[in-house]
Structure 1
Amino acid sequence: MQNGSLIDSAPWSNYDPYSDDALLNPWPGYRELRNAGPAVWLPEYEMFALARYESVRRALEDWETFPSRYGVMMNDDMNEVLRGNTLCTDGPEHSALRNVLIRPLMPRALRDARERITAEAGSVVDRLVAQGTFDAASELANHLPVTVVSELIGLPEAGRERMLEWAEEMFNCFGPMNDRTTHSFPVLKEMMAYATNEAVPGRVKPGSWAEGIHDAVERGEVPAEACPVMMIDYMGPSLDTTIFAISSAVYLFATNPDQWDLVREDPRLMASAMSEVLRMESPIQDFSRYVARDVDIDGVVLPAGSRAIVFYGSGNRDERKFPDPDRFDVRRCPGDHLAFGAGPHACVGMNLARMEMLALFTALAERVQRFEILEAEPVLHNILRGFRTLRVTVS
């Protein structure tokens, strides 16, 4: 039960972060929320907004006050659908699931994949540079997740062609119950049916990540009923988030050619540049957290039973943390950005995402002097940020 007096005493804002205009250009609204306070009540959604870097990081790291077991989405229906998956558990239960998922994603385990990813990156970049003009969103950004990562996951071929749409629509269902969310739920049901009925022993690829989940069930490490939602842990985040990060990187280098010159001149800057891309254009903009007990966030008390939207994208643009935060600077080295989250629920696939981005842009830096944007259509999405279309010509 929310404490009305505590909510009344908090800063309020009528800003709607899920309007079309806000989703396409969230930065002014994020600044408004950050300036309003460390936690701001949004009456339209009956949730607090945490938009400052320190507020976001605190919520992500303090899982006992801001637990995930009640769901991290902005609507009750989706919180129920994904109940019990890695994203929506805490403590020992979360650790057991996470330990299984992360095994093939640790740097040592990814060593064999690195060679293939590097080779595939070089191959697709050679082909696209030879074309001269291409869609960086569909032809470049999709390539590694679809050709390499989906095979590593090892799901059955039948239905795999739907994975990109499933992943995008799944994340749309994380938002409040608006038109985008309700439109996406039927697609989500299709994804859940595939994970439950097709991603089963005998149908998944031998030696794959998916088979590793079933092996863990056989060893008693995780319960059998967790299998479908654990499959979705691989199917969703391994695809769209990396794809959108790659397309955003192309856009940032195209619109900041001086920064592209810097990484071409000094390849040692590439890792810092990828972190700066993720800080500037976090592929996941926000999740939510339930508030399990009254908590004081820099003078604003969030009552037990309330819910807070945790805006990663805003925290990464907080001028209290990052000087001149709207400037793309490949020498910034923002290793503590929030694009991968923080705390016990930090993204299990971050090593793979970095590997894919580094492979592609290292290959591009060796072959491309300039990107010129011909057409740019951002995706309109409740949670994800990136491009539907990004046609470029390269020289």
Structure 2
Amino acid sequence: MAVTDTSPLVHPDVDPFAPETLEDPLPLQERLRDAGPVVRLDRYGVHALARYEHVHAALTDWQTFQSAAGVGLANFRHEKPWRPPSLLLEADPPLHDAPRTVLSRVVGPPRLRRLREAWAEEARELVDRVLGRTSFDAVTGLAQAFPLRVFPDAVGLGREGRENLLPYGDHAFNAFGPRNALVDKGAPRVAELSAWVEAQCARERLAPGGFGAAIWEAADRGDITERQAPLIVRSLLTAGVDTTVHGLAAVLYAFATHPEQWRRLREDPRLARVAFDEAVRWESPVQTFFRTATRDVEIAGTTIPEGGKILMFLGAANRDPRHWTDPDSFDLTRDPSAHVGFGMGLHQCVGQHVARLEAESLLTALAERVEHIELADTPVRHLNNTLRAWSSMPVRVRTV
């Protein structure tokens, strides 16, 4: 019997990956939420979920909405991926279990506690240097500079070539979308960047005591295989930099445009982690991810056929007024902990605590020195098929 699709059809020309939509996705997100629980996007032959209830449900039901067929538009059942699939992001149990367990332990709270003091000192040194000027670019000067300083050190990377991390991650996240101009722009360097990243994942390239060495030690114990070890290190390098950079840029933009919230943070620096999570909810640096239906599945009266791709709008869910009160406001009195900006369920971001510690370190150092922060000029977006990002954010500060 043929499956009947009763979901609303958004105009065939609607393209969530068009430059104007990536520049400002909020109008389309509202349109999708209002259209219904499930919406068809004929341009790409996929169904879309934009309401919090249904995005959350799909994220937590890995048995029905699988990641192993790819978390991008490409369906790994029929298409060969441009690189070996991630053992975490693009795998489901049982293949997902051992890599996830190992990486969760490697970047877990005990190891992060040992980094806290060093990262706080690194943040103070960076802030002191940047505040030698009253105006600077918050993206390059802070949001990029801090993660590229502390995270590769924590992994155990050498100093040479770290500038490759951002363009490699940028292309990886672009490739989750359709083959468009953004993907084509990064294509000429894919082989070069992939080779560099692959080389950094080798045991002999990683400094003792870092995340990378700990992953290889897990292989020595038999917790994972030697084939899996470099792929798990690669997952760290692929998803551990860009997302944090854009999360930090989001929280800096939020404070530059909400002076009352900056005053609140300065009065209570313990709100630094809340501020970061609220910014992740409010800006959603990771805007979208795909899943694939493992069977015919009904959502709110619409049947999505087995093998069908589902586009989940995480950014839309994080601003859904059906779930959040005053969702378009950046508000430190809110509990943002239920946001889906880090995913949810089995595939929730394993490195989210690393990102939170980076944010806490940087925001605390800034709150100690900066009385007021504001935009000095119009910020410029960096377009990516999956990520919501800034390429430039001129700010002006008044120090204590």
- Pick the TM interval, shorter chain: over 0.9
TM-score (norm: length of structure 2)? 0.93
* Structure 1 counterpart of 2:194: 192
Q: Please state whether the residue corresponding to 1:93 is helix, strand or coil.
A: coil
Q: Please state whether the residue corresponding to 1:127 is helix, strand or coil.
A: helix
Q: Please state whether the residue corresponding to 1:180 is helix, strand or coil.
A: helix
Gaps of at least 5 residues in structure 2 are none
* Structure 2 counterpart of 1:36: 35
* Structure 2 counterpart of 1:370: 372
Contact 1:56 1:315 in 2 (8 A): yes
CA distance in 1, matches of 2:271, 2:158: 39
Contact 2:197 2:237 in 1 (8 A): no
Q: Please state whether the residue corresponding to 2:204 is helix, strand or coil.
A: coil
Contact 2:295 2:307 in 1 (8 A): yes
* Structure 1 counterpart of 2:154: 152
**Aligned in 2, Cα 1:334/1:78: closer, same or farther, shift over 3 Å?**
farther
CA distance in 1, matches of 2:25, 2:277: 20
Deviates more, 1:158-167 or 1:137-146: 158-167
* Structure 1 counterpart of 2:46: 47
Q: Please state whether the residue corresponding to 2:66 is helix, strand or coil.
A: coil
**Aligned in 2, Cα 1:188/1:33: closer, same or farther, shift over 3 Å?**
same
Q: Please state whether the residue corresponding to 1:110 is helix, strand or coil.
A: helix
1:165-218 residue CA offsets vs partner (Å, 9 max, x unmatched): 211122111111212123324433333323434431222212222222322233
CA distance in 2, matches of 1:392, 1:55: 38
* Structure 2 counterpart of 1:21: 20
* Structure 1 counterpart of 2:245: 243
* Structure 1 counterpart of 2:390: 387
Letter in 1 for 2:324: F
CA distance in 2, matches of 1:202, 1:268: 39
* Structure 2 counterpart of 1:12: 9
Letter in 2 for 1:177: R
* Structure 2 counterpart of 1:89: 91
CA distance in 2, matches of 1:275, 1:84: 25
**Aligned in 2, Cα 1:306/1:80: closer, same or farther, shift over 3 Å?**
farther
CA distance in 2, matches of 1:326, 1:358: 23
* Structure 2 counterpart of 1:69: 68
Contact 1:136 1:247 in 2 (8 A): yes
Q: 1:111 aligns with which of 97, 113, 123?
A: 113
Letter in 1 for 2:384: H
**Aligned in 2, Cα 1:156/1:368: closer, same or farther, shift over 3 Å?**
closer
How does 1:1-395 map onto structure 2 within 5 Å?
5-7=3-5, 9-14=6-11, 15-76=14-75, 79=81, 81-375=83-377, 376-395=379-398
CA distance in 2, matches of 1:158, 1:323: 47
1:311-342 residue CA offsets vs partner (Å, 9 max, x unmatched): 11111010100011111111111110111100
Q: Please state whether the residue corresponding to 1:16 is helix, strand or coil.
A: coil
Gaps of at least 5 residues in structure 1 are none
CA distance in 2, matches of 1:194, 1:346: 27
CA distance in 1, matches of 2:330, 2:380: 20
Deviates more, 1:319-328 or 1:206-215: 206-215
CA distance in 1, matches of 2:83, 2:396: 42
Identity over aligned pairs, percent: 38
1:16-72 residue CA offsets vs partner (Å, 9 max, x unmatched): 111111101101100100111111110001111111111111111000000111111
TM-superposed CA distance for 1:260, in Å, is: 1.3
Deviates more, 1:18-27 or 1:79-88: 79-88
CA distance in 2, matches of 1:18, 1:226: 33
CA distance in 1, matches of 2:270, 2:149: 27
Contact 2:49 2:55 in 1 (8 A): yes
**Aligned in 2, Cα 1:38/1:109: closer, same or farther, shift over 3 Å?**
same
Letter in 1 for 2:4: L
Contact 1:72 1:79 in 2 (8 A): no
CA distance in 2, matches of 1:149, 1:6: 49
Letter in 1 for 2:7: A
CA distance in 1, matches of 2:324, 2:80: 33
CA distance in 2, matches of 1:142, 1:38: 37
Contact 1:78 1:174 in 2 (8 A): no
- How many correspondences in the alignment? 392
TM-superposed CA distance for 1:90, in Å, is: 0.8
CA distance in 1, matches of 2:165, 2:154: 14
> After TM superposition, where is structure 1 displaced by more than 6 Å over at least 4 residues in a row?
none
TM-score (norm: length of structure 1)? 0.94
* CA RMSD, Structure 1 to Structure 2 (Å): 1.8
CA distance in 2, matches of 1:349, 1:83: 18
CA distance in 1, matches of 2:282, 2:7: 29
Q: Please state whether the residue corresponding to 2:116 is helix, strand or coil.
A: helix
TM-superposed CA distance for 1:355, in Å, is: 0.8
Letter in 2 for 1:241: T
CA distance in 2, matches of 1:94, 1:242: 23
CA distance in 2, matches of 1:206, 1:228: 15
Contact 2:107 2:211 in 1 (8 A): no
